[in-house]
Structure 1
Amino acid sequence: MSGPSVLEAWREKVAAGTLKRDPEQEHAAEILSRVSEGVGQSGRGWFGRKKSAPPGLWIYGPVGTGKSMLMSLFFEHAPLREKRRLHFHDFMAEVHDDLETRRKAGESDPIRQTAKVMAKSARLFCLDEAEINDIADAMIVGRFFDHLFGEGVTVVATSNRAPTELYEGGINRQLFMPFIDLICESMEVVQLDAGHDYRRQALAGEDLWLTPLNAASERKLETLWERATGGASEEAESVMVKGRVLNVPRAAAGCARFPFEDLCGRALGAGDYLALARRYRVLFVEDIPALDESRRDAAKRLVTLIDALYENDTVLVARAESEPEQLYGRGDYSFEFQRAASRIQEMRRAEITPHNQ
């Protein structure tokens, strides 16, 4: 599986104008290239790995600095098949499920055995949005990752926090400190802090409410998707909402994309929309039809979605039948819908600085 390195792929996107040159992103891409080369040579163990390749990488920084985009490039170009990419909370849920099964079976040292099972499923784990808020995670994560590294597994993680800031103020944090030490000893730590959201910058100045539903607006939506994601590979993802799985059909580099009917044509609620707004920085919604009293429930869901995106400074890119003010016809609920239309007008230009800052 030969091909361009992460750094080469990143530079190609800069040359094509898909991304803007950013020294911190370039530095991270260079390190990711070394990690990628190392995992490609390591096979089933460590012995083939070059000394210059770190066993893992922790990339942290605020929202919008390019962490997800770089992770997408890395995962796409990592030259091995035994690799998995998961949201950190999904990864830990899988770990807890396996641990629970082993504890019920009375196995000795279930954490070690779970690490062995996870190591058999992949030699490389790419974990998005690593965060420790749960004491159940905090109490096992150090030992688990210690065993996982011992099995020769490489971990690349992104986070909004530096390792030393994880689980701050948490119960029994002193028991969590060995995990921080493990990260600093076993993973290279790289900070991204460009001071701007590259997704917002990529969309700045564009009209993000595209009308009508025709070939021209479809082409424009594809162009904006390419720019917002930096050309990263798409994949389906899932978001956990109060124990339920919300499927995301298309996602890349911190952006998600839905047909309108998937979001507002079925029984989703405020909790679902808040989870999406907090998970993704840009939400693309396609094929929003004209609405009237016969589709009042769908209109209400759209209003709830707009509120969630607005309050969380999530960028909305939408393709619709008409302008916001004309989207819902006269009749019951038209007055309430106008508030959402006003917010859409405010959101339809992606300013580099979010509206609530």
Structure 2
Amino acid sequence: MTGLLARYEKLIASGELRADPDQRRAAVRLDRLQKELLAEQPGGLLSQLFSRKPERPQGVYMWGGVGRGKSMLMDLFHETLDLEGKRRAHFHAFMQDVHRMMREAREGRHGDPIPHVARTIAEDVRVLAFDEMVVNNSADAMIMSRLFTQLICERDVAVVTTSNRPPRDLYKDGLNREHFLPFIDLVQAELDVLGLNGPTDYRLDRIGDLATWHTPLGHEATAKVREAFFRLTDFEPEDADNVPSGELKVGESRTLHVPKMTKGVAVFSFKRLCGEARGAPDFLAIAREFHTVIIVGIPRMGPERRNEAARFVTLIDALYEHRVKLFATAAATPEDLYRAGDGSFEFERTVSRLNEMQSDEYMAMGHGTEE
């Protein structure tokens, strides 16, 4: 099997990828990790030279903005690693498995469940690859430090992960974050932290030929935004039923349920966002957390839906100001969504923003406010 670096350089030479110094540095580092892992196998160079156990290979934590090639490098790492004991998982799904195993361990009276779970995982896994690590609930945060200390330091499991955030920003402002801080210290001590913030946004290559506003409502429009979701997240369409949901923190004491969310992409229905009593804090939390939002089922609105129209205006303002990419299914073009009713004149600004948000210039902007 061809190694990661050789495969990466072949993609550069063929023009499928563009040269990117940060990317290549990560490819070199991942290639070195592959060699270290293979060398310690029975019959490998290190096992031939040393009778005692060699020092465990250091894992890798790759972080950077969306579209920087992190998932592509993770794909190459996993595909080209000729090792049976490798596992690649969505981090959310992995933690769901961990919680299930902990419940089973408690029911089986195994004592402290975390060492038992770590031992069970490590029996079949030498390398854990996550794409992408995000922590958005206190239940995960409370156990991650102890679990990964067991896996990495006690069980010699190599961890490779991607994230949109540097380690210090994981679970930022989260509930009981003080219990999560040892995990950040563990990552910084045990994993090689690499930033990927090069000039090329590969996400645009994936969605460049897809329209963002789809009308009228129906199966064809739904199929288009589904395609956008799977292109952006690398989630397999046949595994659609397992796309994770989540809770988004809004302020200090409230959360917003997100029906589908992974890798910075969230899916909502118009009814959930604008048909219920919501305000600017909800929409700002969404705009700050997700680089792409998919809204399905936007209806035509008249005077009887002035409240929904007003909420929609506030939502679009928040998304626009944070340069969130919007994909939508709607009953009409932006110009025909709200022609009459309180605030219909002011709605013209929203129409203008919705049209601008479909432009190449807007799609090329990075996520976040200008400040």
CA distance in 2, matches of 1:244, 1:213: 28
Given the alignment of the two structures, is residue 342 of structure 1 paired with residue 352 of structure 2, yes or no?
yes
What's 1:238 paired with? 245
Q: Does 1:85 align with 2:85?
A: no
Cα deviation 1:282-311 (Å, max 9, x = unaligned): 234467554445766765664454244234
Match of 1:145 among 145, 148, 164: 148
Matches within 5 A, 1:95-244: 108-119=111-122, 124-126=128-130, 128-130=132-134, 137=141, 141-149=144-152, 150-163=154-167, 176=181, 180=185, 182-184=186-188, 186-194=190-198, 197-199=201-203, 209-210=212-213, 212-213=215-216, 225=228, 229=232, 233=236, 236-241=243-248
The higher radius of gyration belongs to 2
Amino acid at match of 2:23: Q
Instruction: Give the secondary structure class of the aligned counterpart of 2:245.
Output: strand
Moved more, 51-60 or 342-351: 51-60
Whichever residue aligns with residue 240 of structure 1, its letter is E
Tell me: higher relative CO, structure 1 or 2? Use CA pairs within 8 A at least 6 residues apart.
Answer: 1
SS for the counterpart of 1:189 is strand
- Structure 1: distance between partners of 2:215 and 2:21: 39
Query: Within 2, Cα distance between the matches of 1:96 and 1:327?
Result: 44
Equivalences, count: 344
Cα distance, 1:83–1:279 mapped onto 2, change above 3 Å? farther
How far residue 219 of structure 1 moved from its aligned partner, in angstroms, is 12
Report if aligned partners of 2:137, 2:247 keep a CA contact under 8 Å in 1: no
Distance in structure 1 (CA, Å) of the matches to 2:137 and 2:268: 32
- Paired with 2:177 and 2:230, the residues of 1 have a C-alpha distance of 44
Distance 1:346 1:134 in 2: 38
CA distance in 2, matches of 1:227, 1:136: 25
Bigger drift between 227-236 and 165-174 goes to 165-174
Show the 5 A alignment for 1:185-334: 186-194=190-198, 197-199=201-203, 209-210=212-213, 212-213=215-216, 225=228, 229=232, 233=236, 236-241=243-248, 246-248=258-260, 254-255=264-265, 258=267, 276-285=286-295, 288=298, 290-292=300-302, 299=309, 302-303=312-313, 305-318=315-328, 320-331=330-341, 334=344
Please say if 1:356 is aligned against 2:358.
no
Query: Are residues 132 and 269 of structure 1, via their aligned partners in 2, closer, same or farther at CA, if it must alter by over 3 Å?
Result: closer
Contact 1:128-1:157 within 8 A present in 2 as well: yes
Measure how far apart 1:69 and its partner are: 5.0
The answer to whether the 8 Å contact 1:201/1:351 transfers is no
Structure 2: gaps (5+ residues): 47-54, 250-254
Counterpart of 1:60? Answer: 63
State the shift of 1:248 in Å.
Answer: 1.8
AA partner of residue 87 (structure 2): K
CA change 1:299–1:162 in 2 (3 A) is: closer
Task: Report SS of the residue matched to 2:244.
Answer: strand
Q: Structure 1 77/97 Cα, relative in aligned 2: closer, same or farther at 3 Å?
A: same
Q: CA separation in 1, counterparts of 2:189 and 2:44?
A: 17
1:260-282 per-position Cα deviation (integer Å, ceiling 9, x unaligned): 56865976956776565444322
CA RMSD in angstroms comes to 5.6
Deviations 1:86-114 (A, max 9, x none): 346x7667657866886899864443223
Structure 1 CA distance, aligned partners of 2:172 and 2:340?
52
Q: Residue 247 of structure 2 aligns to a residue in which SS?
A: strand
The alpha-carbon deviation at position 190 of structure 1 amounts to 2.0
Write the letter of the residue equivalent to 2:319: L
Pair 1:298–1:8, CA change in 2 (3 A) = farther
Determine the C-alpha separation between the residues in 2 that align with 1:268 and 1:46. 58
Residues 7 and 30, structure 1, Cα contact 8 Å, conserved in 2: no
Indicate if the aligned counterparts of 2:63 and 2:194 stay in contact, CA closer than 8 A.
yes
Gaps of at least 5 residues in structure 1 are: none
SS in 2 for 1:334: coil
Partner of residue 26, structure 2: 28
Question: CA offsets, 1:175-229, max 9 Å, x none?
Answer: 956863x43554333221215654368778x8955465499x9699589949973
For 1:50 and 1:187, how far apart are their aligned partners in 2?
Answer: 23
* C-alpha distance in 1 between matches for 2:203 and 2:345: 33
- TM-score norm. by structure 1 comes to 0.64
Distance 2:129 2:350 in 1: 40
Change (3 A) 1:227 1:95: closer
**Identity over the aligned pairs, expressed in percent?**
29
Preserved contact between residue 125 and residue 153 of structure 1 (Cα < 8 Å): no
For residues 268 and 34 of structure 1, what CA distance do their matches in structure 2 show? 53
